[in-house]
Amino acid sequence: LKNCALTLSDVDLIAVAAGPGSFTGLRIGVAAAKGLAWPGDRPCAGVSTLEAMAWTVAHMDGELCPAMDARRGQVYNARFSFGDGVLHRLTADRAISLADLAGELEGSGKTQIIVGDGASLCYNHLKELGIPVRMAPIHLRHQTAWGVARAALEQARRGELTDAGGLAPVYHRLSQAERERQEKKKDKGDQA
């Protein structure tokens, strides 16, 4: 704000990548957005990290396939196409195995533009299977503030904004600690 000679009162909307992503990173990002929004009761947009990444490569020819490494043999992924100035969602945000993603893409026949920190992982796996893929250029491969802002603009146009109290991270799966706790509960239940 200082570099742009603006103050928080000049801001109309607070946007944040609300997920998927790292549990700690999402909590910190959403908390920061809430902290900026609450004092002036600013509207908020919690956007899909994957949609934000898709916007950075929407000008490229092919289907857009953001992928973030979710570990455990999975990627966080969604698929999009772009036409007539509109980003069209082909799938919901999800955690999906590379094998399941490959199976889904085999029938598409369209070149997939791979973007995100899981791009290399997906590209290598899909290329080996003969699925037509292209890596996004390195300068467009990762999430950007511009992509978050562009996705937030679309939310605002659709009237899908929230207030700071309604802003929440979207994790798409349980944390390691929650999975371990559920296992312990299950094991105790099996022993009873």
The helix or strand, by DSSP H or E, that contains position 104, with its residue range, turns out to be helix 98-106
Instruction: Please provide residue 125's backbone torsions phi and psi, each rounded to the nearest 5 degrees.
Output: -65, -45
Bond preceding residue 20 cis, omega within 30 of 0? yes
Residue 63 half-sphere exposure toward CB, CA atoms < 13 A: 21
Q: pLDDT exceeding 90 applies to what percent of the chain? A: 83
In the chain the beta strands, taken as DSSP E runs, fall at 14-19, 44-48, 63-71, 74-77, 80-83, 86-89, 94-97, 112-115, 133-135
Which residue carries 């290399």 as its tokens?
A: 120
CB 48 within 8 A of CB 78: yes
Bond preceding residue 39 cis, omega within 30 of 0? no
Q: What is the pLDDT of residue 181?
A: 80
pLDDT at 114 over 70: yes
Over residues 90-110, the pLDDT tens digits come to: 999 999 999 999 999 998 889
CB 80 within 8 A of CB 54: yes
Query: What pTM, to 2 d.p., does this model score?
Result: 0.89
